[in-house]
A and B are shown apart, each in its own frame.
Chain A
Amino acid sequence: MTSDAVPADSDPRRLLDEVRGLARRVRLTQRVTWLPLLALAAVTFGAIPVSGWGPTITSDCRAVDGGQVCKVWQPALQLYWLAALLLAYVVIARGYLRVARARGVDTRVRPYVLTGVALSVALFAAVAAGAGAWIVPDPQLLDPAAPVQMLFRLLTPVGGIGLGLLVLAWLERHPTLLLFALGYLAVVLVPITFGWGAHWGGRWQSAPILIITGSLLLVGSAGFALARRPGRPR
C-alpha cells in the first residue's frame, strides 16, 4: 500500500462519467424540439391553399420525344414558401433563445436556423432558375427516372425542412429527433399518389403530401412537447 493515495475526487473514470452526465443534462435542458416542428407544420399547412389557388405560369414549351416540356412557375407558392420559412426560422430562433434562457442556459440553435434559411433561399433560387432542366436533359424530364424523382422531391421546401431537422438532431445530439427526421424524409421521398398516377389532381396534386408532412410535423411537435413535460422521466 501507499500513503500517497489518489483522492476520491480524482477517480478519473468517475469524473468522466459525471462530466458526461452533466453535459447530457445541459443538452436536455437546451432542447425546445416541439417549437420548430410546430412552426414548420403551420408553414406546411399554410402552403395548401396557396398551392391550390395560386396562379401557375407555364412558358417556354417545346416538343420532345413523347410529349411536350414546359417551364412551370408558381410565383405565389414559391414566394409563400420563401417568406413563410424565413419567418418561421426567425420565430424558431427567438423562441429557442427565450425558452432556453428562461431555463438558465444558452442554446446552439443558430447553425440550424442559418442552415434552414440557406436551404430555403437556395431552393427558391433553384426553382426560379428552372434548375430541374440542368439536372436532367429534356427527354428524360418528361418521365424522370426514380432516383431523379427522389432528388426532385428532396429539393423542395418540405425536403429542405427535413434536411434542416437532421442538422438540428446533430446539433442537439438528439437520437429521437434524428429518427424522426429520417422518417419524415422517407415520407417526403416516397411518391404518394394513392394509385391515381402522375398529375392526378390538377392544381391540388400537392395537397396530400402537404397534409401528410404537415400532420407528421404536428404529431412530432405534440410528442416532443409531451415527452418534455415536467416530472416525466426522459
Chain B
Amino acid sequence: MTDPVDTPDEATSAHPVTDLDDVVHQRVRLGILTIAHEARRVEFGFLRTQLDLTAGNLSKHLSVLETAGLIRIEKGYEGRRGRTWITLTTAGSAALADEITRLKTLIARVERTGPLRIGDDRDADRRRSGRDAVELPSDRPGAQRRPPLWTPPRRA
C-alpha cells in the first residue's frame, strides 16, 4: 500500500524533531536568543523582566548559552550601576535561524500529515495504521498548559 501523504524523501529522511538542538529549543533559552537577536545587545534586567525569571534562573540559562558559544556576556558599569549586556554571537544567530526553520518545517509537516508521533519509526506505524496515532499533549483536553514565555505588562 502506498503512503497517501508522505513523499518517499520524507519517509526516509529523519523527522524534523530529531534535528532540534536541546540547548536552543528550550523555551527560555529560545526567548533569550530571540530577544538578543532583535535587540542586538540586551541588558540582563530587560531579559529578566521580559521573561519573568528570577536572576538566578536567568543566570543559569545564560551560562548554558555562553558555554555553548551562542552568546557573549559583558559586564560593566554605567556610573555606579553595574550593567550586564548580552550579545548574540554569529553561532548564536545561526543556531536561532536553524531552530526557527526547524519549527516551521515541523509545523508544515504537522499541517500536511496531521498530529505528530515522536519515537522509533512511529511515522511508519501511523502510515501503516492509516490513522493519526498521537496528538500533541498541549492539544489534549485537560492538558496542563504552561504560562506563555512572555506576557504583556499589566497596568496597575
Contacts and interface: CB of A to CB of B under 8 A. Distances in A.
B119 A4 contact: yes
Nearest to A24: B38
Given A7-B137, A10-B25, A22 B31 contact: yes
Interface stretch (B6-14, B58-66, B144-152): B144-152
A23 B30 contact: no
B30 A15 contact: yes
A176 interface: no
A22 B149 contact: yes
B136 A22 contact: no
A12 to B, nearest CB: 4
Interface residues of A: mostly helix, strand, loop or mixed?
A: helix
A21 B150 contact: yes
B31 A18 contact: yes
A72 interface: no
A229 interface: no
A1 interface: yes
Contacts of B25: 9-10
Contacts of A26: 34-35, 38-39, 42, 50
B106 interface: yes
B104 A16 contact: yes
Interface in B32-69: 34-35, 37-43, 45-47, 49-50
Contacts of B148: 14, 18, 21
Interface of A: 1-2, 4-16, 18-19, 21-23, 25-27, 29-30, 101, 103-108, 231
